[in-house]
Structure 1
Amino acid sequence: MKRRVTKAIFPVAGLGTRFLPATKSIPKEIMTLVDRPLIQYAIDEARAAGIKEFIFVTSRGKGALEDYFDHANELEAHLRKSGKDDLLDVLRATNMESGAIAYIRQHKALGLGHAVWCARRLVGNEPFAVILPDDVIAAEKPCLQQMVEAHAEIGGNMVAAMEVAPEKASSYGVLDVCDDMGAMVSVKGMVEKPKAHEAPSNLAVIGRYILTPKIMQNLNKMKSGAGGEIQLTDAIAEEIRKSNNVYGFRFRGQRFDCGSKAGFLQATVAFGLARDELRDEFQQFLISMTAVRKAAE
């Protein structure tokens, strides 16, 4: 019997140095994409997939991230008194039930695998999801929901995958495909950040995973891998060797790398244009800016 995926780990301990000086005083995950912080997009996606328990792996300086999900009683009372029910509904959507969210400290920056391992006691003997908030995915059906539905049919370990250009392979974990079944591929290996000519395919792993508890057992034994860090992909590769139950899932949607400045700006444009109340004015501005640039050339 396959168990439902109801727990998700959010590794949010990074310092966000690529966004300094903004991240000097606020966590990167609180940075705003249109009018919602990155972490809200991740939480909303998890909720849509049926996640009930949210596990944050944090570090020092992340207090604002923890406060974000608290009830803001004074602000709610002000909005209620002012009759601003629409804003009150928006605010309520950011609240988390007592006990639904847990915070675990990662005291040393030893990589994604180590961050996931830090949550081992809260995961227990259940399958779990991992969501990297830097990866924001625009999709008609949320990416993790697509994966949970596919996982209910096939089980095992599942990673979200997308096609990338060969010169981009060195930025990702890349799948070595055994059998391509369309939306799903069975995997015979994974290579972390390969050189372009050494990449086994053009399918790169991005920040959504559904994993079995055995991944935690593998992480227990892991030594440092690429970059001197404990790599999650190494623990998944070990499961390929042991159980041959790892799958790549080609999700339907567009992924934005909001861990980079260019990706964050691209996401801002895409999500801004997707909003009915912003689209016309924003689109006209972009058109005018393009015209001015062309004229200057």
Structure 2
Amino acid sequence: MTTYAYDSSTTHLLAVWGAGVGSAAHSVARLHARTPVAVGRRLAHGLTQLSTTAWLSYEESDIAGPVPVSPALRAIVDPNVVRAGRLRVDPDWVVEAGHDVGRTLREAGSAGVRRAVVADVEAEFDAIERALLGDLAGRAGQAVMMSRLDASPVQIAAADRLLHEVPTGGQPLTTDVEPTAACVAAAHWLRAAVDVTRDAIGGDDDGDVLATEEAAQPWDVVAPRLVLARMDDGLSPLAAVLSLVLSAKRVARGFVPAPDECDVRGHVVLDPGRPSRQLLDQLMLALRTCGQLHLEVCGPGAPDPFDAFDAAVRAEAGRASDRLLAPVR
């Protein structure tokens, strides 16, 4: 989402959003010098609420429908106001947020500021629509900070290409791709990496491969092992990833999970505030663990030990490529 702020020293209304590494920002409008500071801050707050609510259409489509673009923009330009001591509240969250912004703009009293705000909100809505299509260019790139309860095939394919380039994962996987989709691709490549490494060390199960990392950071291996186990039980990578993300998102919404809904007895294993980002970090850690263990076993005397691991994992991932885009089941 975009966070808006008001700089009272310059009277600028600012828009800021996360970009994977650092944040992007621009000035939306300059309010009149006589505009009360409280009005500028209320405008920033209202726009932040509008952005947060609108991005639910992308992040949690199970509880939010499409963004009502035209009604929300009309609400900003011609908001509901108090009449006879009463205020009509629109039942749509996004539209009502637009009315709130519109009422504050009336207090600001500038047609130029209103035009600038409408243009910025249009750009925000356009970013959401492009993100839904898997296009994270420009402002839509803030989607890399979100945990979506779905994954675009375009984004899964983009993450798969990045992992083909660097099978142990690299920074572009966290900055250029929506994290839930990146987790789906990483789960597919982790399954391949674990299989390759287990064969190299002569292990009997996945635990033999991840044991070193489990001893050092036991909690960081729980989620990757659950993903692998659920894939072994027949779930697609998409279904395995979404099962963990959904558990955490339900807790974030205020639900107390029943014992049979917990990933581990008494716990959900991902941070409810950033489940997809955390899972991606842990899957990449597991991929690097596989690479390091394979190097320790097969590296001595090999001319290109890293290339050998990468080549073997690419071959295994390619052999099982059908599972990558398998639907939830």
Structure having the larger proportion of residues in strand: 1
TM-score, structure 1 length as denominator? 0.27
TM-score, structure 2 length as denominator? 0.25
Structure having the larger proportion of residues in helix: 2
